[in-house]
Copies of this chain bind each other. A is one copy, B any other.
Amino acid sequence: MKDFNYSIPTKIFFGVDKINVLGSQIKNYGSRVLLVYGGGSIKKNGLYNKVIENLKENNISFWELPGVDPNPRVTSVRIGVDLCRENSIDIVLAVGGGSSIDCAKVIAAAVNYPGDAWDIVLDPRRIKGVLPIASVLTLAATGSEMDAGAVITNLDTNEKLGTGHPDMAPRFSILDPTYTFTVPANQTAAGTADIMSHIFEVYFNNTESAYLQNRMAEAMLKTCINYGRKAIDEPENYEARANLMWTSSLAINGLLSYGKDAKWSVHPMEHELSAFYDITHGVGLAILTPAWMNYVLSENTIDKFVEYGVNVWDIDKTLDKETIAHKAIERTKEYFISLGIPAALREVGIGEEKLEIMAKQATSRGSIGNFKVLEAEDVLNIFKAAL
């Protein structure tokens, strides 16, 4: 097990009607709120009204930044920063999924930075003096509600990049699984794939001495597999929604990566797909994952795939290693298909045209991954295999 410094300070209020704590929690940080949210879904399902009522009851002033896109844009961040500065905002509150939360995080981190917000995405070391952040979660996917990272897209430059700072972890997040009852099937599927990918990114790793973390990762993968399809078939199945929601937070809050030396692979590849084609992040991940698995499977890595196949997919451990590994990858692919996710890049409108430039850009900040180190050529091969 590698050395680590653990700090997961975000408080979680989990359960039905936990929205009731919103005002009292916000008051710990101030009385002037910037409300960040996406499209109209929170207005349609009534959550917007609940939030507004609660803020008003608690005499909290608020300003609004609506219309944050999936794959949130730096242009939204800039508008939010101006709103914060003009209105002396104390705390940035995201109501939505990972896009709204990521946008809120970078707004909060950019307010006290004198230059353009994109600078702190390019270089997180510039982040100082982050405003408090909080979230009301409406989608089980990114885990942004409990981690210190954010991903922002710059459509001008076709860049989708991650940034982060310890103070970007939300002070608190409200997780009410009933708010995900109205999430449509395709978003539930993509969210589940996103959670699973976060787990894969640290599970497929060479730090074998992190036994505990590996077993916990399997616990979370099994939870996704057990409930992903169920949440699609029965959108109001509380048990399914609750398990997925809590797994989304724990999968990426550090619990699985502390003690490992994990460098991600599939996420940086997918970010290029989203940056160039604006596809749904989780869909891109689900398409790339089996292709990546097949590509990195080798004599050096096969034991990890065997572990995965036996412990997660319950594949007969008396079979030979090769068979178990291939079955495990096949099961992964079939599972994503069973969620209704497209299985190939062409199905989401991505052809060969930009594969090379995307592969190059995916590795523009250096090689990616460390389970198997990937250079531009490797990424291109994986893209091609996923066509």
Contact = CB atoms under 8 A, between A and B. Distances in A.
Contacts of A18: 3
A5 interface: yes
A19 B63 CA distance: 46
A219 B223 CA distance: 13
Contact of A9 (B3, B9, B259): B9
Nearest to A146: B6
A226 B211 contact: yes
Nearest to A17: B3
Nearest to A4: B14
One complex includes copies of this chain to the number of 2
A124 B220 CA distance: 35
B5 A12 contact: yes
A14 B9 contact: no
A17 B167 CA distance: 26
Nearest to A172: B7
Given A14-B259, A216-B216, A218-B219, A243 B211 contact: yes
Interface string A208-222: 011110011011101
Nearest to A227: B211
- Ordered nearest first, which 8 A-B pairs have the shortest CB separation? A3-B15, A215-B219, A6-B12, A1-B242, A209-B239, A212-B223, A216-B219, A219-B219
Interface of A: 1-9, 11-16, 18, 177, 209-212, 215-216, 218-220, 222-223, 226-227, 238-239, 242-243, 246-247, 250, 255, 258-259
Given A211-B239, A215-B223, 8 more contacts: A2-B15, A3-B18, A6-B13, A209-B242, A212-B220, A215-B222, A216-B220, A242-B259
